[in-house]
Amino acid sequence: MQSAMFLAVQHDCGPMDKSAGSGPKSEEKREKMKRTLLKDWKTRLSYFLQNSSSPGKPKTGKKSKQQAFLKPSPEEAELWSEAFDELLASKYGLAAFRAFLKSEFCEENIEFWLACEDFKKTKSPQKLSSKARKIYTDFIEKEAPKEINIDFQTKTLIAQNIQEVTSGCFTTAQKRVYSLMENNSYPRFLESEFYQDLCKKPQITTEPHAT
């Protein structure tokens, strides 16, 4: 399943180009592209929903997991546009946002933010220390596999902080990444085809009464 995640159509982290010609054929081509993107979205979303169990918690059964991640109503989806926190507080919304970042090739931002949230909840000093090292090697150090885009000063501060680990080691970096997502990725997510599709209200057709 994971290999299917990389089948997304690559683009430049911005909205789809709408200037590619006009006329019936161009319109048909755009509609076909939209359907392809929506299909890719749903593939990625399905993956994140299936792999969204919290660290350290046993995975639930298939039936209970499906109940936990029911597709939101259009009204519930519209709430996500009111605040970034509303989106992150929804398990389905968070999975959808992760799928979106995956399509923009910047999923390391939300993965780092989630790792920090888990880190802050850790009580054991030994686990706190091992998690701090893992976060640093995964996201912070130079040429890390999921290196996030933060300034050198913040990286230096983190390197100093993890020498004597506390739950606030990554606070500054987490705030920067949160702000980056809120001001850049989040607005684009709200404009995406996938989110607009979730917000569509079903059309109610009424049959004309016989006279």
Query: Do 181 and 109 meet the contact criterion of CB atoms below 8 Å apart?
Result: yes
Which domains, and CATH codes, for the chain? 71-199 (1.10.167.10)
Nearest of 116, 148, 144 to residue 132 by alpha carbon: 116
Query: Tokens in use for 40?
Result: 């890719």
CA distance 75 to 176: 30
Q: Which uninterrupted H or E stretch holds 38?
A: helix 24-50
Q: Print pLDDT tens along the chain (211 aa).
A: 433 333 333 333 444 444 444 556 666 766 666 566 566 666 666 666 666 544 434 444 444 444 456 789 999 999 999 999 999 999 999 999 999 998 888 899 999 999 999 999 999 999 999 999 999 999 999 999 999 999 999 999 999 999 999 999 999 999 999 999 999 999 999 999 889 989 988 766 555 555 5
pTM: predicted TM-score of the whole model, two decimal places: 0.70
CA distance 127 to 205: 57
